[in-house]
């Protein structure tokens, strides 16, 4: 007997998913997409199966936000085991080396952490998804191979001890795109005079979502059973939340129609030349991103509305 067809629908918005341990980012994405029965979905910034926390899931028009979120700053809660090192710098592989942990004080640990503030270079770990001559570094590492990795520029905006006791250090760090927390943990351990590996990692938030709550898969299932699609959609953030740092411009009906045709449009006030703006119609609906022109009009950069029919159901 063939399986009954499942119907997927058009859904737009951003889900702040609390990804559990042991689940890949793609597996978490597919489970969330199935719960929402969404036609289109993507995630913004992978989390390893050994990490938990915020994984932004973008549905429908919100998938256009993914690139911006990948570039956004992120904040993590990091648990470091001192006195040992694994090949992968985390719990994925076995301990390969041990070293004594020197006597440390909280003040001394804080001084070391403060030394990591600011812009710096970081060498990516071999166990990473970066490519070397067409192969993922982690594939080479699993074969026992090691290659030279050029350093990358990263920025540590904030780093603060949360707990320290003996051979265990927990700290919170806000950092730029491209920061490898496993490498950071090992580098901190080295400056403390010992070895270290990542024993736990939780992403607390991705900018600009610090003030919004996360939703876990179990609670989403419950909401779906009790309230259906309408209740689930109430948990989604609108696309324009990702662009809160940009000024806004409102367009009347005539200007909106011109903009949706891909042409220059006149807003309610003149736009500054070269400025990136959020455009809205006169009902407050978010239309998309525009750029100010020398004559005060705005040019469409990326639209977040469809000119076709919406709400269609597609069998899968």
Burial 131-142 (b: 16+ CB within 10 A, else e): eeeeeebbebbe
Contact partners, residue 301, CB within 8 Å, separation at least 6: 276, 288, 289, 290, 291
| Cα 72 from chain centre | 7
Tokens of residue 115, six digits: 């030394």
CA separation for the pair 312, 293 (Å, rounded)? 36
- Catalytic residue list contains 79: no
Q: Which of 48, 90, 187, 281 is catalytic?
A: 48
Answer whether 200's CB lies under 8 Å from 73's CB.
no
> What ranges make up the beta strands (E) of the chain?
7-9, 13-19, 41-43, 51-59, 74-82, 84-86, 95-98, 118-122, 131-132, 135-136, 152-165, 168-175, 196-206, 247-251, 276-281, 286-292, 298-303, 313-315
Tokens of residue 189, six digits: 């351990």
Whose CA is closest to 214, among 35, 76, 15? 15
Tell me whether the omega of the peptide bond preceding residue 150 falls within 30 degrees of 0, making it cis: no
Active site residues: 48
């Amino acid at each position: 007997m063939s399986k009954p067809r499942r119907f997927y629908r058009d859904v737009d918005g951003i889900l702040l998913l609390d990804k559990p341990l042991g689940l890949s980012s793609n597996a978490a994405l597919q489970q969330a997409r199935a719960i929402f029965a969404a036609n289109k979905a993507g995630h913004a910034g992978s989390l390893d199966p050994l990490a938990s926390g915020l994984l932004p899931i973008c549905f429908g028009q919100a998938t256009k936000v993914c690139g911006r979120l990948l570039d956004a700053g992120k904040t993590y809660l990091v648990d470091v085991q001192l006195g040992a090192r694994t090949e992968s710098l985390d719990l994925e592989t076995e301990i390969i080396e041990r070293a004594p942990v020197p006597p440390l004080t909280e003040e001394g640990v804080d001084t070391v952490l403060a030394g990591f503030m600011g812009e710096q270079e970081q060498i990516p770990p071999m166990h990473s998804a970066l490519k070397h001559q067409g192969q993922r570094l982690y594939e080479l590492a699993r074969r026992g191979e090691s290659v030279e990795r050029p350093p990358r520029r990263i920025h540590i905006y904030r780093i603060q001890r949360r707990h320290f006791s003996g051979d265990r250090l927990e700290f919170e760090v806000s950092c730029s795109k491209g920061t490898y927390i496993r490498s950071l943990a090992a580098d901190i351990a080295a400056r403390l005079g010992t070895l270290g590996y990542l024993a736990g990692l939780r992403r607390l938030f991705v900018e600009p979502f610090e003030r919004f709550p996360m939703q876990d898969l179990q609670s989403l299932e419950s909401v779906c059973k009790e309230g259906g699609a309408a209740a689930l959609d109430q948990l989604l953030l609108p696309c324009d939340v990702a662009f809160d740092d940009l000024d806004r411009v409102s367009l009347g009906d005539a200007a909106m129609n011109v903009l949706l045709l891909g042409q220059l449009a006149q807003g309610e006030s003149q736009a500054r030349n070269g400025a990136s703006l959020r455009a809205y119609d006169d009902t407050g609906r978010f239309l998309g991103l525009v750029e100010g022109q020398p004559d005060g009009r705005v040019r469409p950069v990326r639209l977040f509305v469809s000119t076709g029919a919406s709400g269609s159901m597609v069998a899968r």
